[in-house]
Structure 1
Amino acid sequence: MRIHVDALKLPFVTAFLRTVLAAITAALVSIVAPTPAPAQASSVACATDPATPKRQLRAMWISSVANIDWPSRTGLSVSAQQAEFRAWLDLAVAKRMNAVIVQVRPTADAFWPSPYEPWSQWLTGTQGGNPGYDPLAFMVSEAHARNLEFHAWFNPYRIANHDDPSRLVSTHPARQHPDWRFAYGGKLYYNPGIPQVRDFIEDAIMDAVSRYDVDGVHLDDYFYPYPVSGQAIPDSATYAQYGGSFSNIADWRRDNVNLLVRELDQRIHAAKPHVTFGISPFGIWRNAGTDPLGSRTSGLQSYDAIYADSRQWVKQGWVDYLAPQIYWHIGFATAPYEVLTAWWSDVVRGTGVQLVVGQAAYRAGASGQEAAWQDPAELSDHLTDNRRHPEVVGDVYFSAKDVKADRIGAITRLVNTHYGKPALLPARGTAAAPGVPSITSATRVSNGVQLAWTGSATAYAVHRVDGSPSAADPCFFADARNLVGTTRQKTLTDTTATGSAYTYYVTALNRTHQESGPSAGRAVGTGGGTFSVVVDNAEAGFSAGSAWGTSTYSTQLHGTDYRFAEPVAASDPAWFSAAVPSAGSYRVEVWYPANSGYNSATPYVVAASGGNQTVTVDQRTGGGAWRSLGTFSLNAGTYNVVGVSRWTSGTGLVIADAVRLTRL
């Protein structure tokens, strides 16, 4: 991403009108058509809140070149690198983002074991140095565990931020093929005009696409080099060899970039149709003073300066989304933010290409920036401006470290104003929605309400409404006001459920974010009904000694992980503590993952009112569901109610995962 651009160097409808229009539409629909199904009704008759959009891409760039974001420096241990990356993902989740765009090929090198290019120097400090693990596999897995989309970011032509080929590792393709490269402005670049270079770059990118479960391929704004005063790009000989059908070198250069974009689009979707392809171009295509099709701006023109015909990529449908870097403030004389959002919206309108805005988080509150960037509301105001244009489906922030820095509270203000609720990602393509899921349980637990469901989908969205409606109103799902969260698991604990009675619904999402209809509702009361509580091993009510390990191996787990220990001739129990509201009879159930290597006679100890009672369970079978130990008389109070003992005659690991108590 360019962080030195200073050198440049829907008509808005009020909430009231939305409500009126929605009421009129509803009346007309009721006259001419039967009540539509929930999946179709929300867009027809429901007044929505622009502050809680149902779908919106929210992402940040995580830049690896020069260790801008991650890793923070070279030479970190594997565990330190991984801990840093997890922290970036946790930041994204905390800011209610739903995607990350991570630079995995910053300087013609790789953050995965590529057969085409050397390991990146930004990992170990030495180009070609093996970091000791597969960063790309790790990053994709960690992102998906948090239900964040992972877009792999590639810089196509840049070889090095210096111009000395001898500093490249000896096996580097740019050293083995010196005719493929040129030096310009103190840097090394692959020559975009050589067909073999284009094939090589595409092959290097497609290696990552084919081998890893990425959700998107992302190119930044670096195509031909940005102009350097007094220097000419040294590609006249290449033009003489390959540019015969072009009357001028500028058109030939643009065609070279166009070929890369068009061919990548074709290859990506042929290999994996669900993977999205997007580019983040410089914010200005051309100025209206040069081209009547251009924007009312007067800055650098990427069409002419770096030979990036981004408008044509949209009109030809060679990209799924475009994220122009509109890194200027509202009212900026050279390139006003509001002028460019309107212009780009007009460009994508009717094309099927989605528009995402690249936002300059690095400018907010930074020293040396214009006065507008010292206003904590500037970035937030950008998103308010976006609401005028339905073509804008989200934003991406440069870069992660600036999101974290939150100078002058600009990010906090933006999140509080615009990201108060989660959002689904914009749907891509025309794939069929998955089947409707079914809620199997909704239980009050110590920290909220725990839900479980069945379904067959990539991800799920959990919605909550107050009270117990007789039926699911389609307008419950028209925006995100009732959206609790999304997950790739089939369980979720709603930690915000602290008050009134609720009804929950779950919808299913496929890989390209088409959404099913809602499940049947499941009501949960606040009291007066049957008491039921679940205690998971990850909660404060669980305790165990140091001999108990933690695992996520089995897919039958409850929650995020479970505990295990070797059998031993000593009790050393893992305890589940709960607040039993009153003395009486309770059904005690346990949850554990089953495996042939687990214990055949695991002792569960129930602290019944008449004394401890032990029930043995064969944990080799029957896992991934609630299994009853029986009915027990329990005393009132908060205490260790159920223990899992290690003292057993059986063989195999003893497992402790979750316990459920239900008053009968």
Structure 2
Amino acid sequence: MRFVASALKLLFVTTLLRIVLVALTAVFALVVTPAAAPATAGGCTVDPATPKRQLRGMWISSVANIDWPSRTGLSASAQQAELRAWLDLAVQRRMNAVFVQVRPTADTFWPSSLEPWSQWLTGAQGGDPGYDPLAFMVSEAHARNLELHAWFNPYRIANHDDPSRLQASHPARRNPSWRFAYDGKLYYNPGLPVVRDFIQDVIMDAVTRYDLDGVHLDDYFYPYPAAGQTIPDAAAYAAHGAGFANVHDWRRENVNLLVRELDQRIHTAKPWVSFGVSPFGIWRNAGTDPLGSRTSGLQSYDAIYADTRLWVKQGWVDYIAPQLYWYIGYGPADYEVLTAWWAGVARDTGVQLLIGQAAYRAGASGQDPAWQDRAELSDHLYVNRRHPEVAGDIFFSARDVKADRINSFSTLANAHYTKPALLPARGTSAAPAAPAITSATRGSGGVALAWQGGGATSYAVHRVTGTPAAADPCTFADARNLLTTTRKTTFTDASATAGTAYTYYVTALNRTHQESPPSAGKAVPAGSGGGFSVVIDNADPGFTAGSGWGTSAFSGQLHGADYRFAEPVSASDPAWFRAGIPSAGGYRVEVWHPADAGYNSAAPYIVAADGGNRTITVDQRTGGGQWRSLGDFTLAAGTYNVVGVSRWTSTSGYVIADAIRITRL
């Protein structure tokens, strides 16, 4: 899946270049700017930068160990640690869904009686990894309130054409008539009804046995065309092609049947499971078909027999996620042109439109200069705002989201993902009843909430400043007041300021994300201390650091525009945060830092407390992008260096200085 710069995809890319790059059309790129004014919904003014509902996901690829596992042969615990890190990345980036490849080459990431264990787990097809990866990923995703969409490649058997390399018990080896070789690879023959039934049985094995949120197919249907080669399915056409004028219509119908029948089987077994496809981004060009897009690239309808427009119009999928991996203004396939075209296709169908985004291209070497603009991906989401049919985005792939080359993803997140978002609702099931907040207690770690709400899958926690007599319906119109979503019935608001009064509300959501009315508000009065709270960023005048401290904006978890970093040394050389403390007394001291595996596991923070300096070490490899408490301290009145970050530590990794917050208790 996807145009990736890897050995696995090289042949696909060269094939695509032979076919896609045909005559250019003159398409003018529009200047992409944020919306000039907020929109309205239900009489409320809403901020398009903080939508209430938006799917935000990333693909986690297992084929060729692109993302996970990072290599074959890792222990079960190492594989699990890697997956947890990917899921944590999704949470840090305020995503709410992951699409994990669980059947990459006709082998599985769960113990199946139909196909062997995947070679990408242990290095040997059929090798038991020692645990159930699919069960593990469902459990871990749901613990973070992420939707888990299981990603299947339907027809691909192997990225080679030697059947003897398959496990001896592999169905494609035991049934040679089911397969064909094409362009150096092995495929199941889509024209055989027995194959179609078998592929559905494999997918349904996962659907019925695991608590999946979605079933996801990628863009590989019939093989992408290879010059000078013909798909060897003449015998299957002779046997099963009666009633079709040509082999091309027959091939399209074979794929149509797979999609339509799989849709029916999934929703018969579990109506709440979402079914979607992420196809190649062009259905047909307008030069070929007046219903097509103003593009001039490869046509999935003709090249790989994927009639994606029909699937949407017939409602055979719950969502369509075309891979729009081109930049704004690209002549053969302009992102703006294709987004508008797909929005028109999805309009009034009930099928959600998601956009597949090319995170792998942003800042990568060898890409068009347009992809060296760190705002390119962010600009795509500004385009999306013009089309209400666009329900969200999926990014390929996880490693590129993490790499964040040229700060491209950080730029996008800072413009579009500043608040959490609920997932788009599917279907028409009834919403749960409103929950009831049972307690809201201010403590040293923030405001601790608890609530009750039977029958819900997850909850959304909202906060407004002050103690209004009644909830304003506009409070819930977008995500400006949304703190988090969770599958638990407790939450601690660590961002609550001691001197500020708040009112909290909780709503309940069912499996398909219909939302209850809000709970009654629970007011929490301001704490003692007169409301004093000060934040000092590394860019503020109160910050000082020596020449050994560098400046970076690499991490998207930064506070403000950048942060400071330094190598550990056997000398303190602290970076200091200077603050004006209004009166002697108790204060909570919190710190903000980005987290990365390459940062320090025991970064020393110095607090100039009354009675002497206190040193607290913080593991900066985790817990980034949020306020972390160093503790409560007695501070003297006056303006002085209150908090320092020392370089004197025996542990390796950069020491980070970003921001501090001091709050009167």
What band does the TM-score fall into relative to the shorter chain? 0.7 to 0.9
- Matched to 1:63, the amino acid is S
- Matched to 2:478, the amino acid is D
Q: Check whether the contact 1:15–1:49 (CA below 8 A) recurs between aligned residues.
A: no
1:115–1:15 CA distance, 2 compared to 1 (3 A): same
Determine helix, strand or coil for the equivalent of 2:412.
helix
User: Within 5 A, what are the aligned runs for 1:396-545?
Assistant: 396-456=394-454, 457-498=456-497, 500-528=500-528
- Matched to 1:466, the amino acid is T
Distance 1:344 1:385 in 2: 13
- Is 1:66–2:64 an aligned residue pair? yes
Q: Check whether the contact 1:317–1:351 (CA below 8 A) recurs between aligned residues.
A: yes
Distance 1:177 1:441 in 2: 62
Distance 2:79 2:38 in 1: 48
- Is 1:301–2:302 an aligned residue pair? no
Distance 1:375 1:528 in 2: 48
Determine helix, strand or coil for the equivalent of 2:42.
helix
1:334–1:57 CA distance, 2 compared to 1 (3 A): same
Quote the sequence identity (%): 76
Alignment-derived partner of residue 602 in structure 1 = none
Alignment-derived partner of residue 311 in structure 2 = 313
Give the counterpart of 1:115 among 113, 116, 119. Answer: 113
Distance 1:112 1:18 in 2: 46
Determine helix, strand or coil for the equivalent of 1:362.
coil
Q: How far is 1:528 from its partner?
A: 4.2
Q: Check whether the contact 1:356–1:395 (CA below 8 A) recurs between aligned residues.
A: yes
Determine helix, strand or coil for the equivalent of 1:361.
coil
- Is 1:106–2:101 an aligned residue pair? no
Alignment-derived partner of residue 52 in structure 1 = 50
Determine helix, strand or coil for the equivalent of 2:406.
helix
Distance 1:461 1:213 in 2: 21
- Matched to 1:296, the amino acid is R
Alignment-derived partner of residue 32 in structure 1 = none
Question: Which consecutive residues of structure 2, in runs of 5 or more, have no partner in the other structure?
Answer: 5-12, 22-31, 530-584, 587-631, 635-665
Q: How far is 1:446 from its partner?
A: 1.9
Q: Check whether the contact 1:278–1:321 (CA below 8 A) recurs between aligned residues.
A: yes
Count of paired positions = 512
Question: Which consecutive residues of structure 1, in runs of 5 or more, have no partner in the other structure?
Answer: 23-42, 530-580, 583-635, 639-664
Determine helix, strand or coil for the equivalent of 2:459.
strand
Determine helix, strand or coil for the equivalent of 1:363.
coil
Q: Check whether the contact 1:359–1:396 (CA below 8 A) recurs between aligned residues.
A: yes
Q: Check whether the contact 1:102–1:153 (CA below 8 A) recurs between aligned residues.
A: yes
Distance 1:234 1:481 in 2: 56
Q: How far is 1:13 from its partner?
A: 12
Give CA-to-partner distance per residue, 1:490-539, whole Å, 9 cap, x none.
Answer: 0011122125211100000000000000001111122249xxxxxxxxxx
Distance 2:517 2:364 in 1: 45
Q: How far is 1:315 from its partner?
A: 0.6
1:14–1:132 CA distance, 2 compared to 1 (3 A): closer
Give CA-to-partner distance per residue, 1:286-330, whole Å, 9 cap, x none.
Answer: 000000000000000000000000000001100000000000000
Give CA-to-partner distance per residue, 1:403-436, whole Å, 9 cap, x none.
Answer: 0000000011111100000000000000000010
Distance 1:186 1:160 in 2: 9
Q: How far is 1:17 from its partner?
A: 5.8
Distance 1:255 1:359 in 2: 28
1:240–1:408 CA distance, 2 compared to 1 (3 A): same
Distance 2:358 2:453 in 1: 40
User: Within 5 A, what are the aligned runs for 1:239-318?
Assistant: 239-318=237-316
Q: Check whether the contact 1:108–1:159 (CA below 8 A) recurs between aligned residues.
A: yes
- Matched to 2:139, the amino acid is S
Determine helix, strand or coil for the equivalent of 1:461.
strand
Give CA-to-partner distance per residue, 1:339-384, whole Å, 9 cap, x none.
Answer: 0000000001010000000000000000000010000000000000
User: Within 5 A, what are the aligned runs for 1:73-88?
Assistant: 73-88=71-86
Give the counterpart of 1:333 among 310, 331, 334. Answer: 331
Give CA-to-partner distance per residue, 1:137-187, whole Å, 9 cap, x none.
Answer: 000000000000000000000000000000000000001100000000100
Distance 1:368 1:16 in 2: 35
Q: How far is 1:3 from its partner?
A: 1.4
User: Within 5 A, what are the aligned runs for 1:607-618?
Assistant: none
Alignment-derived partner of residue 603 in structure 1 = none
Alignment-derived partner of residue 173 in structure 1 = 171
Distance 2:306 2:633 in 1: 69
1:106–1:14 CA distance, 2 compared to 1 (3 A): closer
Q: How far is 1:14 from its partner?
A: 8.5
Distance 2:34 2:236 in 1: 56
Q: Check whether the contact 1:254–1:307 (CA below 8 A) recurs between aligned residues.
A: yes
Q: Check whether the contact 2:500–2:527 (CA below 8 A) recurs between aligned residues.
A: no
**Normalising by the residue count of structure 1, what TM-score does the alignment of the two structures yield?**
0.75
Distance 1:386 1:412 in 2: 18
Determine helix, strand or coil for the equivalent of 1:110.
coil
Q: How far is 1:445 from its partner?
A: 2.3
Alignment-derived partner of residue 386 in structure 1 = 384
1:13–1:351 CA distance, 2 compared to 1 (3 A): farther
Alignment-derived partner of residue 31 in structure 1 = none
Q: Check whether the contact 1:438–1:453 (CA below 8 A) recurs between aligned residues.
A: yes
- Matched to 1:119, the amino acid is W
Alignment-derived partner of residue 609 in structure 1 = none
Alignment-derived partner of residue 644 in structure 1 = none
Distance 1:494 1:286 in 2: 50
- Matched to 2:517, the amino acid is G
Q: How far is 1:637 from its partner?
A: 9.2
Q: How far is 1:15 from its partner?
A: 6.6
Alignment-derived partner of residue 126 in structure 1 = 124
1:324–1:185 CA distance, 2 compared to 1 (3 A): same
Alignment-derived partner of residue 7 in structure 2 = none
Distance 1:342 1:291 in 2: 17
1:60–1:44 CA distance, 2 compared to 1 (3 A): same
Distance 2:297 2:153 in 1: 23
1:319–1:441 CA distance, 2 compared to 1 (3 A): same
- Matched to 1:360, the amino acid is A
Alignment-derived partner of residue 218 in structure 1 = 216
- Matched to 1:468, the amino acid is T
Distance 2:633 2:76 in 1: 46
**Normalising by the residue count of structure 2, what TM-score does the alignment of the two structures yield?**
0.75
Q: Check whether the contact 2:38–2:48 (CA below 8 A) recurs between aligned residues.
A: no
Determine helix, strand or coil for the equivalent of 1:462.
strand
Determine helix, strand or coil for the equivalent of 2:101.
strand
Alignment-derived partner of residue 2 in structure 2 = 2
Distance 1:458 1:80 in 2: 30
Give CA-to-partner distance per residue, 1:476-496, whole Å, 9 cap, x none.
Answer: 000000000000000011122
1:14–1:94 CA distance, 2 compared to 1 (3 A): closer
- Is 1:185–2:192 an aligned residue pair? no
Q: How far is 1:447 from its partner?
A: 2.5
Alignment-derived partner of residue 643 in structure 1 = none
1:13–1:476 CA distance, 2 compared to 1 (3 A): farther
Distance 2:164 2:34 in 1: 62
Determine helix, strand or coil for the equivalent of 2:211.
coil
- Matched to 1:495, the amino acid is A
Distance 2:130 2:528 in 1: 57
Determine helix, strand or coil for the equivalent of 1:364.
coil
1:637–1:177 CA distance, 2 compared to 1 (3 A): closer
